[in-house]
Amino acid sequence: FCHRREAPGCSPAPPPPEPAPRPGGTSPARRPPPPGSPDTGAFFLGVLRARLRGEHRCGTAASVPVVFDEHHLSEVQNTASEEKLDEVVDSMKESKVAIIGKIHTPMEYKGDLASYDMRLRRKLDLFANVVHVKSLPGYKTRHNNLDLVIIREQTEGEYSSLEHESAKGVIECLKIITRAKSQRIAKFAFDYATKLGRTKVTAVHKANIMKLGDGLFLQCCEEVSKLYPKIKFDTMIIDNCCMQLVQNPYQFDVLVMPNLYGNIIDNLAAGLVGGAGVVPGESYSAEYAVFEMGARHPFAQAVGRNIANPTAMLLSAANMLRHLNLEFHANIISDAVKKVIKVGKVRTADMGGYATSLEFTRAVIAALEDS
């Protein structure tokens, strides 16, 4: 459970008063994999857990009051099973909050069309994926000072796992769009915009071709928009949206879209601010919150090379703490990460530098202790 505690032998300065942590704030995580494993996400979770718990040394990081209930679920290492998935779900039902690493899902068909990642989303009804794409201070890209939010419905659409071979050499893949879930994600997007002071919501679709499926999604967004007269609403076809994001991303504020489009746009937009290694994400249901990398890219080529960028996982951890009303701890972690990037002396290869994952992490720890 999430509670305030101190590392043995350490006496960190008490943070400013803050709201009490939410009840049941255990943050299920997954243990780091054995050396040589293709599971980069789980490796970063191990590093992250150690830093939050202050296992490296006494200091500021040791004061983060989070207890981890750890679960290792990996299809690559053949450690995934329905029993282990149920253990994760049971833990989530108790804690309500989790942080997870990106686990590579094999493309080979092994008897079940839905990956464990997809099944977890369905079991917890994690219908809304939120990716805040924001430029990092001091890191220049083609477009600077970007600040937009992508909201993706992630429990239906093309990811419904309804595929079959209707005749030899003919595969049918069903895309499911329902009124209830389209209205729910539209309302989530407008509520998010209202709460965060955003002024515009753009519904992304392909209703000119998929007139019934995407047409229903678009209709639901239009209906919900009328309940929020202070929020500007417009629509854009997915292919045009991709081009506009590259040419003029400043026109966007909050974008809401079905499942597959969201997956594509998440990765495209992440590339505008530095890539998959720097963008945090989160998924929500009515009860649960799961924090993860914003661009779900396994970065398999980084396995075992100590070159992957920890930024996205560290910022996701900060967002998790903010969700738990641990604003002070969230800010010192995110500020430390941004300070290291802004100074520019320690950057991983994806940001044009030469630092290893471990060197970047050590630089963040040093910035934490200086704060």
- 146 in the same domain as 98: no
Q: What is the CATH number of the domain that holds 117?
A: 3.40.718.10
Per-residue b or e along 178-203, where b marks 16 or more CB atoms closer than 10 Å to that residue's CB: beebbbbbbbbbbebbeeeebeebbb
- 146 in the same domain as 268: yes
Segments of the chain with pLDDT less than 70: 1-63, 74-80, 103-114, 297-304, 371
End residue of a domain, out of 214, 243, 273: 273
List, as one string, the DSSP characters of 225-240. HTT-TTSEEEEEEHHH
- Please tell me the predicted confidence (pLDDT) of residue 175: 94
Contact 68, 27 (CB under 8 A): yes
- 314 in the same domain as 199: no
- 175 in the same domain as 252: yes
End residue of a domain, out of 249, 273, 297: 273
- 283 in the same domain as 266: no
At residue 130, φ and ψ (nearest 5 deg) are -120, 125
301: which DSSP letter? G
CA angle centred on 138, ends 295 and 308, rounded to 5°: 40
- 169 in the same domain as 252: yes
CA distance 117 to 249: 30
Question: Total structural domains in the chain?
Answer: 2
CA distance 89 to 369: 35
- 293 in the same domain as 268: no
Residue 342, both tokens? 């802004």
Amino acid residing at 29: A
- 282 in the same domain as 269: no
Domain that holds residue 28: 1-133+277-371
Nearest residue to 152 (alpha-carbon basis) of 257, 253, 233, 222:
257
Instruction: Report the residue count for the chain.
Output: 371
Contact 153, 259 (CB under 8 A): yes
CA distance 320 to 310: 16
**Percent of the residues in the chain that have a pLDDT greater than 70, as a whole number:** 75
- 232 in the same domain as 125: no
- Please tell me the predicted confidence (pLDDT) of residue 298: 57
- 181 in the same domain as 145: yes
End residue of a domain, out of 248, 273, 298: 273
- Please tell me the predicted confidence (pLDDT) of residue 36: 38
Residue 183, both tokens? 């209205």
- 221 in the same domain as 175: yes
Residue 129, both tokens? 């994926």
Residues sharing a CB contact under 8 Å with residue 228, sequence separation 6 or more, in sequence order: 190, 193, 194, 201
- 341 in the same domain as 317: yes
